Chains A and B, each alone.
Chain A
Amino acid sequence: MQMNTIKLRRRSDGRLTLMPADESNGATATPVKVVRCFPWSLPTRYISILDDKNKELFLLENLEALEDKVSRELLINEISERTYLPQIQKIDAIEDEIDLFKWRVQTKSGERAFFTRRREIPREVAGGQVVLKDISGDRYVIESIDALDEKSRNWLWLYLD
């Protein structure tokens, strides 16, 4: 089966499944997981499709090249859910709490408070985004530091860059 002709569909229980190339011989759909190989540097390239045992079924080199439109949309949906990051729009405060920093922020998804480790260095990814990881493993993104207001930038100056 050609890589760009694979078909993905959502099963009744909500799982994303890979449709068999030829349904006539009784083959059934396989539930799959979707992983981006380069989530930060190349978000729409090299999409790995794995089965439940983490065995790779396909490595899709380019999401855009996928022929089936429904599959493409399903994939984009699945990826966007897995990689959803609350976008920080405003930083109300960063407090120094001994071994941690406590952040109080306004995100696109609402208000949030979280803690980061003092030694955790935020990663800057391609495109100038800054990704923060809190102590529970939740990640938050600052799309562009320059787009923040001055107060937020001052907090970052103190604790981040």
Chain B
Amino acid sequence: MTEKNNLLEKLFFQPSKIPDAVAEALAQKLPEDAVSIFAFCDLNEQRQFTENWLIATDHHLVFAKVIDGEATNGAHISVPAVELTEIPFGRIRTLELLEGFTLNRLDVIGEEENLLLSVFFTRRQIRAIGNVRFVVEQKCNPKTDAPTNGTQHDVEKPEEKYRESVLQAIREAKSTVITRQQNVFARLMSYLGPHKKATIAGFAASIFLTILGLLPPYITRVLVDDVLQPAETGKLADPSFWIWVIIGSLALVWTGSVLMNFLRLRLMSFVGERIATQLRDELYQHLQKLSLNFYHQRSTGSIISRVTSDTDRLWDFITFGIIEFIISLLTLIGVAIALFLQDVSLASLVVIPLPLMLYLFYRHSSRMQGMFLRIWRKWSALTAVLSDVIPGVRVVKAFAQEDHEIERFSGRNKAVREEAFRIHRTWTRFWPSMVMLMHLCSMIVWAIGAPRVLEFVQTGGQSGMPLGVFIAFSGYMWMFWGPLQHIGMMTRTFNRAITSASRVFEILDTTPTIVTKKDAVKLSRLQGKIKFRDVTFSYDGIRNVLKTVSFDVEPGEMIGLVGPSGSGKSTLVNLICRFYDVAEGSITVDGTDVRELDLHSLRKQIGVVLQEPYLFHGTIAENIAYGQPEATLDNIIEASRAANAHEFICSFPDAYDSVVGERGLTLSGGERQRISIARAILNKPRLLILDEATSSVDTETEKKIQEAMQRLVAGRTTFAIAHRLSTLSSANRLFVMENGKLVEQGTHQQLLEKEEGVYAKLHKTQAELQALIAV
């Protein structure tokens, strides 16, 4: 909780609440007033970053200017001085926001057209400032927006509102706001749990593999020191038998390590694949459960990449990353031990340059990472040209700009080449120098070891180093480099895996906001009686998109919703589907609150036809039967006839078997619309929602769709949103929405009779427009 509250400080170095000094000054000056809402003003008139506050209390708008106080009387604590400017709401006439690139200004204008106050802030604060402005305007003019139940529009938890309004931008852009690396790693490892046996076997195989890998140099040593040399001096009976023993054990070691390597790769790649599949399934299942507001905040691309590339990266990490890290570490330790067992002084000499090598590998890996970052950027610039120009190739040709485009592409292509050259220059330089260094280390071993071997031979084994030890030593030396390289790259591998894992877990941790209650009522057959009681709804918790909307709709009634865009029509129908929950008031369907209903049983009986119908990849028949996969072919044709779609479908060569959707047959807007109507008809919904279903088609098609809709609407409760009033001619009643409120309702005739009414005006304008076209 505290971590969450401190996010603003962590991310933006911005206070996450009003500082105590300001709160105290406020309490002193306005003891009666409680803070209602506040915002941070991070710029001043001199365009310097500062820490000022704009606060709305119960009766005042307060501007708190924080002046960094000098330490007084030699004390070390600096007490910031606070300068308060308070304006009673009664003196404020209006608030004006002037937006700029980065600097924005809110002017508080008084009753006599005089400027009472100007505050400055960056766009980061604009939401929070907007909230303050909204609340102040509400309090200044309580009559224009009648608050619910006569109480003031009070903001709950002002601190949370303030923090959320600033963090919103991050939430929209980024997957996670908080990352706790250790937790993410532990959680990722917990996925190995169900595959305990395979994992343990895989790890065991890796350990054996490491040990077996350490044996060959030792066997060589035995061959040289314990077989060949004694054989030369005749001390060993039956040397050829021992030679075969050695060859045999070498063969055993190699076979064993091939087997172990096979085991660990096979086991771990399967475990990795199982976990990746499980994560993908979990992700997709969870995505289907999540409410719409989750999708509003994220781009499709970012969600897709989590299900695909992030899980793939985790597969790679589980299969290779962890095990290779362990093998490298064990090998390093094993080789070091082996070296020390052979010869302590020479071993210490060899181990000394190890940290240096490790550092070099690490530095190389991070430098390459930087260069990969750059080339990735250049690549995406190159692909951007392609995805920009290829779809627009008609325009390029029409304006004869081929040469210009070739030049643009070739410029970016060159930039990619330059970066690639840089990368190649670096690695081609790095590897030979590393090999040089390795050779240098061997040369040191030779320079020190070889004379000692000579000494051993000359003294007849009294002092010095046996030849076998020397050979084994050289062998072990070369086993250092591989693991060193792996460990040097480890930070990068870990970081990538943790990043992917946190992106995946972030989705899994998002809880759906709209869920079916435990003891929910299952609707067997919806009658279609809809009742709104004082429904107030807001997407952000501040600005109400719907304000105390109340109405009753009888079963079978068709309601036309009209009003300017942004007046709340779509929000209203979204609430009937319970895509969101109301903030205040209630919505009942057949006498039961929608929040008490089983979500599935409710939505299954609602048919929705949208302005831009969505067809999935598949045949036309499959698309029509989307909500009713068990529908018979007769049903499908019947529904298509009712939707005026049968004839045009039959005109396609593949008729109902035509594949549509992405990479399929291209259909016109009207055709798609009619298919989606057929889909709705087949679903036999009890409640129908038509959201601007005919606004993007030509008149002829609209007529056909109208006919289809007449059939669809018959006997069903229907809400139809439309801009063209003619579309709603068959509506029983019209609801006119304006600014989140239901301002008029009645039949077409009744509404026309109100001369100054919103609907009457709307109707007049559209009629005039029609006349204009007729001329």
Contact = CB atoms under 8 A, between A and B. Distances in A.
B13 A84 contact: no
| B172, B174, B175, B373: residue with the most chain A Cβ atoms closer than 10 Å | B174
Interface string A137-161: 1111000000000000000011100
Given A11-B113, A109-B49, A81 B123 contact: no
A82 B113 CA distance: 22
B616 interface: no
Interface string B301-320: 01000000000000000000
Given A14-B115, A82-B100, A98-B502, A136 B124 contact: yes
Contacts of B373: 158-159
Interface in A93-144: 97-100, 102, 107, 109-115, 117, 119, 121, 134-140
Interface in A8-26: 11-15
B13 A109 contact: no
Given A83-B101, A157-B370, 14 more contacts: A11-B113, A82-B101, A84-B47, A84-B101, A98-B179, A99-B302, A111-B13, A111-B49, A115-B11, A115-B174, A134-B124, A135-B172, A138-B122, A158-B374
Given A99-B302, A112-B49, A135-B169, A84 B102 contact: yes
A107 B122 CA distance: 14
Given A81-B105, A85-B102, A158-B373, A13 B114 contact: yes
Contact of B175 (A13, A14, A15, A99): A99
Interface string B368-389: 0010011000001100000000
A157 to B, nearest CB: 8
B173 A115 contact: yes
Nearest to A33: B98
B441 interface: no
Contact of B370 (A114, A136, A158): A158
Contacts of B103: 81-82, 84
A84 to B, nearest CB: 4
A13 B113 contact: yes
A86 B114 contact: no
Interface of B: 11-13, 43, 47-50, 96, 98-103, 105, 107, 109-110, 112-115, 118, 122-124, 126, 169-170, 172-176, 179, 302, 370, 373-374, 380-381, 499, 502-503
B13 to A, nearest CB: 5
B174 A99 contact: yes
A86 B312 CA distance: 41
A97 B502 CA distance: 11
Nearest to A116: B173
Contacts of B175: 98-99
B185 to A, nearest CB: 15
Interface of A: 11-15, 81-86, 97-100, 102, 107, 109-115, 117, 119, 121, 134-140, 157-159
A141 to B, nearest CB: 9
Nearest to A154: B370
A98 B499 contact: yes
| Consensus secondary structure, chain B interface | mixed
B472 to A, nearest CB: 45
B173 A113 contact: no
6 contacts: A13-B114, A81-B100, A84-B103, A98-B174, A109-B49, A113-B12
Contacts of B124: 114, 134, 136, 138
Contacts of B381: 121
Contacts of B47: 84, 86, 109
| A98, A119, A136, A159: residue with the most chain B Cβ atoms closer than 10 Å | A136
B529 to A, nearest CB: 44
A100 B174 contact: yes
A100 B174 CA distance: 7
Contacts of A12: 112-115
Nearest to A82: B100
Contacts of A121: 381
A103 to B, nearest CB: 11
A83 B113 contact: no
Contact of B173 (A83, A110, A117): A117
| 9 interchain residue pairs of minimum CB distance | A110-B49, A82-B100, A14-B115, A136-B124, A84-B103, A137-B123, A136-B169, A135-B173, A135-B169
| A98, A113, A115: residue with the most chain B Cβ atoms closer than 10 Å | A98
Contact of A140 (B102, B105, B112, B302): B102
A110 B105 CA distance: 19
B770 to A, nearest CB: 26
Contacts of A11: 113
A114 B174 CA distance: 13
A15 B370 CA distance: 50
B102 A13 contact: no
Given A12-B114, A14-B118, A98-B175, A82 B109 contact: no
Contacts of A136: 122-124, 126, 169
A138 B123 contact: yes
Contacts of A99: 173-175, 302
A140 to B, nearest CB: 7
Nearest to B168: A136
A80 B126 CA distance: 19
A40 B370 CA distance: 31
Contacts of A115: 11, 169-170, 173-174
Contact of A113 (B11, B174, B302, B380): B11
A34 B123 CA distance: 19
Contacts of B13: 111, 113
| B98, B99, B107: residue with the most chain A Cβ atoms closer than 10 Å | B98
A84 B123 contact: no
A117 B499 CA distance: 16
Nearest to B370: A158
Contacts of B50: 110
A113 to B, nearest CB: 5
B256 to A, nearest CB: 43
B110 to A, nearest CB: 8
B61 to A, nearest CB: 16
